[in-house]
Amino acid sequence: MPDPTAAMHIRRQVLGDAHVTRAEAAKTDFDAPFQALITDAAWGHVWARDTIPLRERSMLTIALLAGLGNDHELALHIRATRNTGASPSDVMEALLHVAIYAGVPRANHAIKIAKDTFAAMATEDQP
């Protein structure tokens, strides 16, 4: 069983402190078991593994989310690329795979989400 502190650390490292702090503040008694499950399973068991770097995990996650049409989570993980080291070019490579293996409409929509998210991130980075 992974260390809950380590799982939360990797979650914060990838998604950023602000996002995780907001998510934790919004947690209720109702969804607390689900939040514990995803922190343990996703962040403690998968993302914390040292077999592949965060950049590659990020690209895999983006491709899977795009292929499944999980748009909200896709935008979240596009934003996380600033913490994982995946570049916009890396994201495009992942989305090209989505086009071939999951369908052009899924990839087309994911590319729009990526473009919008990267544009918003660039605006946020402006002084």
Query: Which pLDDT value is given to residue 11?
Result: 97
pLDDT in tens, 48-67: 999 999 999 999 999 999 99
Q: Assign 3-class secondary structure to the chain.
A: CCCHHHHHHHHHHHHCHHHHHHHHHHCCCCCHHHHHHHHHHHHHHHHCCCCCCHHHHHHHHHHHHHHHCCHHHHHHHHHHHHHHCCCHHHHHHHHHHHHHHCCHHHHHHHHHHHHHHHHHHHHHCCC
Residue 126 has pLDDT above 90, yes or no: no
pLDDT in tens, 16-49: 999 999 999 999 999 999 999 999 999 999 999 9
Calculate mean pLDDT across residues 6-22: 96
Residue with tokens 């590319």: 111
- For the entire predicted model, the pTM comes to 0.92
Q: Which of 3-7, 62-66, 101-105 has the lowest mean pLDDT?
A: 3-7
Confidence of residue 1 (pLDDT cuts 50, 70, 90): low
Query: Which pLDDT value is given to residue 3?
Result: 77
Give the domains, in start order, of the chain with CATH numbers: 1-51 (no CATH), 52-127 (1.20.1290.10)
- State the average pLDDT for the chain: 95
% of the chain exceeding 70 in pLDDT: 98
Query: Which pLDDT value is given to residue 4?
Result: 76
